[in-house]
Amino acid sequence: MKPRDRFHKTVNHEEPDRVPLDYWTTHQAYENLRDYLGIESPETHRWGLFSEWKTSEELLRRLNVDFRHVHMKTAAGFKPQPLPDGSLEDEWKSGSKLIGEYDEVTYYPWAKFTEVEQVEEFDWPDPDDPSRMDGVRELAKHLHEETDYAVVGFIAGPWGIVEMAAHFMRGFDKFLVDLLRRPDLAEAMMDKSMKLAIEMHRVFLDEVGEYLDCLQVFDDLGHQYGLIMSPSVYRTLVKHRQKKVYDDIHQRAPHVKILYHTCGAIEPLIPDLIDVGVDILNPIQPLAKGMDSVVLKEKYGDKLTFHGGIDLQHVMSAQGSIEDVRAEVDTRINALAHGGGYILAPAHNIQSESTPQKILELYDYAAKKGAYPLK
């Protein structure tokens, strides 16, 4: 079966020939695997959180990955600027620097704002800058018409309403306080982020929507042990804004499935995410509180496709063995894959301590174990 057909049968809750596979990784884990396999790949120019890097096609084929990605670019005229703390300012005026394996945000342009007017008057870069889509339509058209892979798109930059306002612009601690003490300010920040997300998706989907099978969106709502805000706060202040963004996406590209990323223990909000138009939920962190795969499948498996699930905190870490990897694949497939509705992938980005041998075993074993009918 062709990968694109495999994806569509899966999200329609039918059983394809095997469980689809996807690949999320940190840059270092990718380089370790690439070098282990002796693969040469295009040079990547890395400068910060929103820098673009390319994954080797040969490596994706070796892992039997069913998806290929296409994304909006940073505006051509943008050049990252150094900030006094050593971070680099991105196009959206936040600053980040490499800490460990991740580019962490260290400068927040809205951190000192006290008035709604300051947020409203803040100038975003122009979503309609034509350089953002330079070559993007051509790539999406090529992937759709000349390959059999499921094509996944995403915009580069404004990652969600809460994500943009809290993580990049205000700072999580201040934003969470704003939700309770200054809801007017928090709402202004979310409205500003929401309008940008709608405009960016408009530009992106009007160019490539016809070639996409899936669109990734991001908005973290959880951590390891619970939600970052109460369900009531989410439902009062966040939910209707997310719905506006996702309704607009579905209106512009009705055939495109929305793949929503949120870390953590978010089970109490899953019915709400279904309400706002989420089709596929990622990353299903199995060790987060309340994220038991069997329970999630029983409660929501007829309404959602699950994406992710493979434990990185133990199994794919330095602690886990090859046998643990096989057992983890068995567990997730048995829990999530019956009747379709499961895309096997790591439950976030593979870390550098995951050895190339374990990564290869994960994908090789999953391709065999995930064959339907499931045993």
Mean pLDDT of 240-244: 98
What CATH code is carried by the domain that includes residue 17?
Answer: 3.20.20.210
**Residue 285, in any domain of the structure:** yes
Q: How far is CA 100 from CA 26, 45, 103, 104, 317, in A?
A: 11, 18, 8, 9, 15
Q: What angle do CA 341, 347, 349 make, to 5 degrees?
A: 130
**Residue 45, in any domain of the structure:** yes
**Residue 160, in any domain of the structure:** yes
Average pLDDT, the chain: 95
Q: For residues 226 and 56, what is the distance between their CA atoms, to the nearest angstrom?
A: 36
Task: Quote the pLDDT of residue 330.
Answer: 99
pLDDT above 80 for 225: yes
**Residue 180, in any domain of the structure:** yes
Q: How far is CA 293 from CA 223, 226, 299, in A?
A: 17, 16, 10
pLDDT above 70 for 229: yes
**Residue 266, in any domain of the structure:** yes
| Half-sphere CA count of 370, side-chain side, radius 13 A | 29
- Domains identified in the chain, total number: 1
State pLDDT tens for residues 18-29: 999 999 998 899
Sheet containing 280-282: give its strands across.
Answer: 67-71, 150-154, 214-218, 257-261, 280-282, 305-310, 342-346
Task: Quote the pLDDT of residue 102.
Answer: 81
pLDDT band at 158 (very low <50, low <70, confident <90, very high): low
pLDDT band at 375 (very low <50, low <70, confident <90, very high): confident
pLDDT above 90 for 221: yes
Question: What is residue 60's three-state secondary structure?
Answer: helix
State pLDDT tens for residues 100-155: 878 889 999 999 999 999 999 999 999 999 999 999 999 999 999 999 999 999 99
Q: What percent of the chain shows pLDDT beyond 70? A: 96
Q: Which domain holds residue 74?
A: 3-369
**Residue 329, in any domain of the structure:** yes
Task: Quote the pLDDT of residue 47.
Answer: 47
State pLDDT tens for residues 315-373: 999 999 999 999 999 999 999 999 999 999 999 999 999 999 999 999 999 999 999 99
Task: Quote the pLDDT of residue 48.
Answer: 54
**Residue 375, in any domain of the structure:** no
pLDDT band at 251 (very low <50, low <70, confident <90, very high): very high
Q: What percent of the chain shows pLDDT beyond 90? A: 86
**Residue 130, in any domain of the structure:** yes
Q: What angle do CA 342, 222, 293 make, to 5 degrees?
A: 30
Q: Are strands 280-282 and 257-261 parallel, antiparallel or unpaired?
A: parallel
Q: How far is CA 309 from CA 37, 260, 349, 373, in A?
A: 25, 14, 11, 20
